[in-house]
Amino acid sequence: MPQISHRGAEMPSSPIRKLVPLANAAKREGVKVYHLNIGQPDLPTPQKGLDALKNIERKTLEYSPSEGHLSLRTKLVDYYKKFGINDIGPENIIITSGGSEAILFAFMACLNPGDEILMVEPGYANYISFAVTAGIKVRTVASYIEDGFALPPMEAFEEEITPRTRAILICNPSNPTGAVYSPEDLQKIKELVVKHDLYLIADEVYREFVYTDEPFVSAMTLGLPENVILVDSVSKRYSECGIRVGMLVTRNRLVYDTVMKYCQARLSPPLLGQIVADASIEGTEEYARECFDEYKARRDFFIKGLNSIPGVYSPMPHGAFYTVVSLPVADAEDFCRWCLTDFRLDGETIMMAPAAGFYRNPDLGNNQVRMAYVLKKEDLQRSLMLLRAALKAYNKRYTF
């Protein structure tokens, strides 16, 4: 029997999805599971996007260009202008199968196996999976719950820089912490990037969800045309995660052309998703405002509720729709599993993502979970009640 690859063995399981079999088992028993583990919004997709599917006149669902449809890329140019991203055209944009593919292709095009990339931890867990896929070494700089997961000082980044460091990846606003980097933070990152001639890969898929009064600063506005690669996605802003439409944007022509070779190999991004995204992107200012207001209200309600549970602490996230929460347990993963396998209150339970999977340092985050506040208020309220009861029962179980 042939062996699987070492790299395959080393691939981490997704902390967001690895407990899915336990959740499925609970559901088969008839248990209702509240999904706080995944950023799958319950808000509706824009009606224009849904209508576009009903109005498809094509008789053949053919390949699209490897870089995506020109129409969608042209609309994105206008969309980005609203965020101060100018001087780009459709020829700077590549449509990908979700932001996920954009990240993998950026890694492949910019870094060799053994090269190093800097990230903040806790960070989006799948970055590490894509780094393992690409044979890249991840070096992390820790941010801390007690500081609200603020950007670590540049000295901490400098300490992790080696001759193999080729890139820094930021997620702004941050999944999983909800941290939003200020204009000053971006300037510091810019200086670091220039000093060490790094690529700056900026994942800004949550840019529409910034709840502070400070203006959001895109890495694309820093004046680093050769260094910056923007990763984006329509998944979250139009509540259409399933269509798998992301994008990679760069002014660096050589990076663009190299990424295009990876795109040509996989032929094309999803046609139907592009049709939905194309229809979703225009004239949805009111939709965007409603989503923003809804998430902000959910955030205010949910974070307050979390902090009212004894031993639970969540900083106030300033963006995105996640928060990393410390719990009064030693092993948050064990608690998450137990909620799915053992805990039920009136036939219901909650699913959370253990935060350890968002850290590289095994000493950090073991008592933390990531939660997404993408459910409607009644469901968040019920989830808070379930969390409170589950913690009480779980801790009681270990103390007699």
Restricted to residues 162-181, the positions that interact with a second copy (CB under 8 A) are: 166-167
Q: Does 265 bind a second copy (CB under 8 A)?
A: yes
Contacts with 357 (C-beta within 8 Å, 6 or more apart), sequence order: 12, 13, 14, 15, 16, 18, 125
Strand partners, 313: 326
CB-neighbour burial class of residue 22 (10 A; exposed 0-12, middle 13-18, buried 19+):
middle
> Judged by CB, which is closer to a second copy: 123, or 269?
269
Piece of 235-243, 310-318, 322-330, 343-351 that binds a second copy (CB under 8 A)? 235-243
Contacts with 234 (C-beta within 8 Å, 6 or more apart), sequence order: 240, 243, 245, 246, 277, 280, 281
Q: Provide, rounded to whole angstroms, the least separation between the CB of residue 145 and a second copy.
A: 25
Give the DSSP H/E element, type plus range, for residue 10.
helix 6-10
By CB under 8 A, the residues from 183 to 202 that bind a second copy are 197-199
Q: Does 93 bind a second copy (CB under 8 A)?
A: no
Q: Residue 246 and residue 115: Cα distance in Å, rounded?
A: 25
By CB under 8 A, the residues from 16 to 55 that bind a second copy are 16-18, 20, 38, 40-45, 49-50, 53-54
Piece of 83-91, 151-159, 268-276, 386-394 that binds a second copy (CB under 8 A)? 268-276
By CB under 8 A, the residues from 354 to 393 that bind a second copy are none
**Cβ pair 99, 205 in contact under 8 A:** yes
Q: Does 288 bind a second copy (CB under 8 A)?
A: no
Q: Does 109 bind a second copy (CB under 8 A)?
A: yes
> Judged by CB, which is closer to a second copy: 126, or 367?
126
Q: Does 321 bind a second copy (CB under 8 A)?
A: no
Among 153, 187, 254, 397, binds a second copy (CB under 8 A): 254
Residue position matching structure tokens 């965020």 = 83
Strands of the sheet containing 137-142, edge to edge, are: 93-96, 246-250, 228-233, 199-203, 165-171, 116-121, 137-142
> Judged by CB, which is closer to a second copy: 39, or 305?
39
**Cβ pair 281, 71 in contact under 8 A:** no
> Judged by CB, which is closer to a second copy: 58, or 396?
58
